[in-house]
Structure 1
Amino acid sequence: MRKILVIGIGAGDPDHLTLQAVKAIARTDVFLLLDKNEERQDLVRLRLEMIEEHGRPGHRVVQVPDAERDRRAQPGYPAVVHSWRTRRAELVEGLIAEHVGGGQTGALLVWGDPGLYDSVIAVLDEVLERGEVSFDYEVVPGISSVSALAARHRTVLTRVGRPVRVTTGRRLAAEGFPAGSDDTVVMLDGKAAFASIDPAGIDIHYGAYLGTPDEILVSGPLAETAPRIAELRREASDRKGWIMDSYLLRRTED
């Protein structure tokens, strides 16, 4: 039986690798890397450096372009995501069938934690449901950008007796600050949705490229810091060609 490892590798700092992740990388025969566009080659290089440092002798690396995804806001967004996952499942199915032999272990390296806004687990389940290739898989948790964000700002996500909500920039822009939530973590924000909500009585703890040399950290009242964050974000995105950020929005104490 083939074995597939889904390994969380942290938010960007090589030291975010847990001992469990290091051991998983060390027992992998074939690493399956789904490359992003040319603008994100620094992320590909970082994964290759992790593999080179912790991989065992004789390991192989297979790199292919990832399935393209339509990221435009539209009413049929869930259907767009489903279509993309299906195309990704077809790609991963072919990679496993061609490159991971019987009794071998393949691995997919996932930024942050595989259980938080990532598609790999759903993709592997779809591949198994198709029934064309058989394997067992294991998930190795990683340090998410949410955990890294709280640590870098030296704060906690959950205040006494209060829940924390995790949502996306798309939903924040559409719905505003979630009702009934005093603490909201926002991920996958492609358009600076924090600038579109009423900032009164809200603090922000913002982080971009967490754990990397390009890291950006800003915190303070949203009304005062939103313009600065938006400008830093634009400059960084123009320079690098992409942005990877998250932030905590927190209602201030009365």
Structure 2
Amino acid sequence: MLAAAGFLLLTFPALAQDDLLQQLSAAQDSARVPEPVAATFKGVRVSNGHSIETPGQGVLLFLISHRFGTLNSGAYNFFGLDQATIRLGLEYGLNDRLAVGIGRSSLEKTYDGFVKYRLLRQAPAHMPVSVTLLGTTALTTLRFGNERPFRTRLTYTYQALLARKFSPGLSLQLMPTLVHRNFVATERDDNDVLALGVAGRQKLSKRVALTLEYYYLLPGPTADDFRNSLAVGFDIETGGHVFQLHFTNSQGMIEKFFVTETRGNFFDGDIYFGFNVSRAFSVKRK
């Protein structure tokens, strides 16, 4: 009996120590916050439209977007290279979730601004998707024959961008979209246009990825009169920057144009070749 009691007394501290270590390990595991998934897309744009990505805190991004004319415009126009539309933009990360931006497009001499907020970030075993909210305003300054009130020159866009990085090489994004136009040409036209966008990115090599972007217009007068926006492109990573090449049936590079005013038939050769290139500047320490 004495021997058994002595054995129990000797083993109890060891068992208690094991118990304590297990409790500490469990507490550490529960306190450990999963790291969010990074680089779902390599740029703040997929092609024409936004991706879920934002500039980091204190980062100023200068973005140049360029579209030539259509490839089927013929040799006289050098297959579109004689014609060009351009947008210059600045985007700034107020913090790691919130960004603001402004831009100016040559098409209809349009100014635009936006606010972009990363609501949710994908994390393993914690959050299956990333969600970014986007609100934009576009102001057309083109001169018309009869001068229009200021408010009729404004267009607003609201988007929820939902994305998931399925693997290091594959990312997909869904973009429910509402475009509100203060002015439309006829009573038949929609002031409010609903569209559903889908986008994807598939890596082909260490530095090159294939991108696809498509916006489906929900049935209505706008869908009857215009076409769905389609873009196929390539992301090329060069020295920490991403150079994006695109082939698209949309001439404009903001939502007002490519969601609601796309006229080109991609499969008939109404294809605008273009690119996005950006340069990032750190203007504020984190």
TM-score normalised according to structure 1 size: 0.28
Structure with bigger strand share is: 2
Q: Of Structure 1 and Structure 2, which has the larger fraction of its residues in helix?
A: 1
Tell me the TM-score normalised to structure 2 length. Answer: 0.26
User: Larger relative contact order (C-alpha < 8 A, sep ≥ 6)?
Assistant: 1
